[in-house]
Amino acid sequence: MIKFDNKLEIRYSFNDKSAYMDAWIKHRCEKEILSMLRVLADLLDVKMTAHCEPFSQEGGYRVVWPIAGESTRSISVVLNILMQVLTRPTLSVGGQPLVDRTNADEENMQKEISLLKRSLKLKQAGALIPRELVELLASWPKFCKYKSNFYEALRGYPKVTKINVRELNENNRSRSGSLEVKREQFDYFILRSDDLPTIKDNKATIEIISPVLKDSRYRWKGIYNKGGETIDFYMCDEDFKKQMFDEKISFTSGMCIDCVLEIARKLSELGETINISYTVTTVIRTRFDKLEIVTPQGKRHLRKLEAEKKQLTLDLFG
């Protein structure tokens, strides 16, 4: 017999007394929650399986998922993080992200996950879920997309007035307080666009495979230093293109450029971050074997960075 010490309850409240729910809406919503549950379990290396135990109720619909696995405590941690992330708003009233996600946030999230994973493996008593980790996971683009899909499905189903989630024990008694999101709050979770902020790599290196000088509509091809991936990119440094066209800089197989690279990104339906375009805005220097040549625009760029660095130092230390 499988023992279910942990259960996740989702309660949909309706604007009438029926106990029926549209099957397409229900399964779309549950797909997003189960996806979040699987990702969280994998992040924290918690072995678990989810089962179904549905209940109807007057004036709403209640779904209970019994969860089985190696550690009741670890499963409880996963479920509590899931509930907090699912009910923590992602957007402001104007539809803007509540926080600007940075590379430092990604690094901090991985650090907090590693610490919590280690705590769960050591089976330390009373290990708390870091508030910072919940906040970082709530703003993680992957989870933002799952939440957006979930609440968008419910927004298109006027019958649902609110949702509640809570953890239950094996006897269906509450293990945690119930977390609630009302219909008027759904918009705080629904993304207006799948586009993500463009990131800028000020220290990119690209080995040029094939340049295109005559038509700016066509992309160049090169090997990007981070991961050694082959990319197609737009060359928007007109000075550099003119220098090559006038043969002040000659293209040689194996030539590399150090440059400022802007990467446009978006979210897939599965919440994965996809790079959709690469654009070189400034070529700082060219390199071939041991020969390095800093471009005029590269010198201007480096002087600007140095000036900004000095100004920042003055602002910080007076």
pLDDT one digit per residue (tens) for the chain, 318 residues = 678 899 999 999 999 888 889 999 999 999 999 999 999 999 999 999 999 886 656 667 889 999 999 899 999 999 999 999 999 998 887 777 777 788 889 999 999 999 999 999 887 665 688 999 999 999 999 999 999 999 999 999 999 999 999 999 998 899 888 999 999 999 999 998 888 888 899 999 999 998 887 777 789 999 998 778 899 999 999 999 888 888 888 888 889 999 999 999 998 888 888 999 999 999 999 998 888 999 999 999 999 988 888 888 777 776
| Alpha carbon distance 216, 230 (integer Å) | 19
Q: Look at residue 57 in the predicted model and tell me its pLDDT.
A: 64
Give residue 272's pLDDT. Answer: 87
| Amino acid identity, position 68 | A
pLDDT at site 56: 59
CA distance 278 to 280: 7
* Beta strands per DSSP E along the chain: 6-14, 48-50, 53-57, 60-69, 160-168, 179-182, 195-210, 220-224, 229-235, 256-267, 273-288, 291-294
Q: What is the pLDDT of residue 123?
A: 72
Length of the chain equals 318
61 within 8 A of 26, measured Cβ to Cβ: yes
- Check residue 126 and give left, alpha or beta (phi > 0: left; psi -120 to 50: alpha): left
- Tokens encoding 103: 């590379």
CA distance 37 to 78: 7
Question: Does the pTM of the predicted model rise above 0.85?
Answer: no
Query: d(Cα 104, Cα 278) in Å, to the nearest integer?
Result: 22
Tokens found for residue 83: 């509930």
pLDDT of residue 127: 63
For residues 251 and 268, the answer to whether their CB atoms sit within 8 Å is: no
Query: What pLDDT, on the 0 to 100 scale, is given for residue 151?
Result: 96
Closest CA to 134 of 108, 167, 168, 154: 108
Enumerate residues 6+ apart whose C-beta is below 8 A from 77. 44, 46, 116, 120, 127, 129
Nearest to 73 by CA among 130, 127, 139, 9: 127
CA distance 258 to 295: 10
Place of tokens 């293209």: 251
Residues whose CB is less than 8 angstroms from the CB of residue 168 and which lie 6 or more positions away in sequence, other chains included: 6, 7, 8, 9, 64, 174, 175
* pLDDT at residue number 267: 87
Strands (E), 211-272: 220-224, 229-235, 256-267
What's the CA gap between 169 and 258, in Å, rounded?
Answer: 58
